Structure 1
């Protein structure tokens, strides 16, 4: 089976804005988009590797909160291949090692990062993260990923 776009939301739902990627996936799921495979990976994206390998997506998007030193709610995108810092994520192994050999060679793979305002213990996104998640989901659904600024 070949899926057009696979979207993984990662994050901890108990750490406020760290759950922003999960909210993007929830919002996309509400739209009932065809050709999309959506996964709320939370803290264990490794659990979805077999599904990813079976789907063989044309585009893979990983959505996560990331402290980029930007204003809260800022969106940035960058190629998955750019993730070379093992400290980028605390979810499973570092992403390049986790996904090595899983994505098809012709797959376009991106990370979309959302600048959190708060990753304190608690449930619920801040208003900045809610707005960013809505914007991110809208752009992904409309096929306008290129409108999200690249991370410098």
Structure 2
């Protein structure tokens, strides 16, 4: 079982990368894969994750990584605080610690935003990044996403 949590605010431009990823994964209809748009309150989905007890939990969020817009990286747990944009209620580092015993493995994926502000829709660069994450989930190959250095 794989659970994907998309975190972010779809009304703030590229901060909607996480929710867009969740929607893209959900649209695939893959057996054994569930995806949720957590918006800005991922803590509201901890019960869902605990009940599912997934082998893999993937958390996707816009992340300031100092990379070109649309770049996608797996973010090591110890680096999550370095990338936070801060539009959610609970810091992702706390969420990961809280759910550490609820999933076999937790992978945090960051998508570098181009523009964040009050507007709907993703930049073309972030749309490509989201498509890459969805493709990696579909193919079961998150290792293809590089690790943030």
Indicate whether the TM-score tops 0.5.
yes
Kindly report which structure 2 residues correspond to 1:3-152, keeping only aligned pairs within 5 A, or say none: 4-79=1-76, 81-83=77-79, 85=81, 88=84, 89-104=86-101, 107-152=104-149
Q: 92-101 or 37-46, which moves further after superposition?
A: 92-101
Q: CA deviation at 1:140?
A: 1.1
Q: Give the TM-score normalised by the residue count of structure 2.
A: 0.90
Whether the 8 Å contact between 1:56 and 1:103 is mirrored in structure 2 is no
**Structure 1 149/99 Cα, relative in aligned 2: closer, same or farther at 3 Å?**
closer
RMSD: 1.8
Q: CA deviation at 1:135?
A: 1.1
Higher helix share: 2
**Structure 1 46/64 Cα, relative in aligned 2: closer, same or farther at 3 Å?**
same
Structure 1 residue runs without a partner (length 5+): none
Q: Give the TM-score normalised by the residue count of structure 1.
A: 0.89
Structure 2 residue runs without a partner (length 5+): none
Q: CA deviation at 1:101?
A: 4.5
Whether the 8 Å contact between 1:92 and 1:98 is mirrored in structure 2 is no
Q: How many residues align?
A: 148
